[in-house]
């Protein structure tokens, strides 16, 4: 999951070298903490949150196989 997020987000931002994803695992869920350069946060969130919503939908679909609930948080 972490690699999927990194790959997608690096295609969206101007500074792909500053994209970092930290994975926090629990028993039933996985939290992915995404951080980027300050000027790229708006590109990741998108207008009215459309891009981050689409990314969350993609993660939910991909997480069906693993049986874990995956959430993504954008860290400023």
Instruction: Please state which CATH number belongs to domain 2-75.
Output: 3.30.300.20
Q: Distance between CA 6 and CA 35 in Å, rounded?
A: 10
Is the model's pLDDT at 35 over the cut of 90? yes
Q: Specify burial of residue 58 (Cβ count, 10 A radius: 0-12, 13-18, 19+).
A: middle
- Segment 9-26 shows an average pLDDT of 95
Structure tokens at 11: 């295609």
pLDDT in tens, 39-72: 999 999 999 999 999 999 999 998 888 888 999 9
Q: Specify burial of residue 34 (Cβ count, 10 A radius: 0-12, 13-18, 19+).
A: buried
* Residue with token string 């991909």: 62
Q: Distance between CA 64 and CA 43 in Å, rounded?
A: 27
- pTM, entire model: 0.88
The ranges assigned to domains in the chain are: 2-75
């Amino acid at each position: 999951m972490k690699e999927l997020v990194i790959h997608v987000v690096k295609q969206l931002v101007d500074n792909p070298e500053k994209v970092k994803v930290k994975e926090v695992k629990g028993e039933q869920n996985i939290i992915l903490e995404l951080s980027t350069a300050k000027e790229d946060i708006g590109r990741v969130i998108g207008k009215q949150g459309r891009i981050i919503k689409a990314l969350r939908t993609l993660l939910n679909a991909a997480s069906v196989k693993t049986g874990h609930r995956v959430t993504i948080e954008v860290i400023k």
